[in-house]
Amino acid sequence: MAAPAEIERALAGVAPAGMIVEAHAEIGSTQDRAFELALVIAEHSDRNGPAVSVAALKQEAGRGTRGKAWFSVSHALAMSVAFIDDDAKGSMVGAVARASVAAGVSVHEAAARFAREERLKLRWPNDLLGDGRKLAGVLIERRGRVTVAGIGVNLDHDGAWPDDVAPRATTLASCGGKADAAAFSPVLLEALVRRWAEPREALTHAWSERERSAGELGAFVVENARYEGRIVSIDPFDCILLERDDGSRVRLPTARTVRG
């Protein structure tokens, strides 16, 4: 297992100038620590863009989307990267969407460096699947003008899976990839910083190449209304186009849609 000092050196080697980099053997939440550091920077400086990266091998209070707990495998990487923008209100939807899409593309790109790409794909909005099971998850949160992309990656697992997790989870190792946190984390950080800065059109194209759900059945919820049907297309910055059983089509805004 990689040592935190080794991970920190690896991250520092690819981090943009001035970015704060930390690595921990264990922490409550990389997400909370990234916010703690980035909010101080945002308050006391005019820095914009990627500002903080916090990595850990284990989290005691890690969380997933919609308040779900995140199960930590025996060999995991948790990493949260904080971005600062100029507008505390007007940029909120755009900043969250950009971080979400960039994080999904980046974790796929990083995993493909170590495992066969044909075994990997994104699932909207930003889960990484390996052989159809969840290999990595992304949590995007925003406070003030700070957006944090939290990424949890299952690198390998020695023990038993919880019964409710076993049928739907996997690891990089199970998908033929071998990497510890010191090898995986700098690849992920470099990709995320680069992808976050890309034009929207390029980022959408990169995401669409990796999220191949067109033609699959899906269920989605928008403001307590549930929609089921065949996925026609997904634009991560715009909408999900869904065809229902009666042949009608409905456009669901991605900013207000969750999986049903």
Write the CB contacts of 220 (distance below 8 Å, at least 6 apart in sequence): 226, 227, 228, 240, 242, 252, 257, 258, 259, 260
Asked if residue 158 has pLDDT above 60, the reply is yes
**pLDDT tens digits, one per residue of 209-221:** 999 899 999 999 9
Residue 119 DSSP one-character state: G
Asked if residue 57 has pLDDT above 50, the reply is yes
Q: How many CB atoms lie within 10 A of CB 164?
A: 9
pLDDT for 87 equals: 67
pLDDT for 91 equals: 53
pLDDT for 67 equals: 52
**pLDDT tens digits, one per residue of 2-55:** 899 999 999 999 999 999 999 999 999 999 999 999 999 999 999 999 999 999
Q: What is the pTM of this model?
A: 0.92
Using pLDDT thresholds of 50, 70 and 90, give the confidence band for residue 168: confident
Write the CB contacts of 244 (distance below 8 Å, at least 6 apart in sequence): 227, 228, 229, 250
Query: Angle at Cα 244 formed by Cα 207 and Cα 248, nearest 5°?
Result: 105
Is 108 in contact with 153 (CB distance < 8 Å)?
A: no
Examine residue 4 and say whether the peptide bond preceding it is cis (omega within 30 degrees of 0). Answer: no
**pLDDT tens digits, one per residue of 226-244:** 999 999 999 999 999 999 9
CA distance 234 to 243: 12
Asked if residue 189 has pLDDT above 60, the reply is yes
| Strand-by-strand arrangement of the 249-253 sheet | 249-253, 239-243, 225-234, 217-222, 257-259
The residue type at 197? A
**pLDDT tens digits, one per residue of 63-104:** 665 555 555 677 999 999 999 998 654 455 689 999 999 999
**DSSP states along 200-211:** HHHHHHHHHHH-
Give the domains, in start order, of the chain with CATH numbers.
Answer: 4-210 (3.30.930.10), 217-259 (2.30.30)
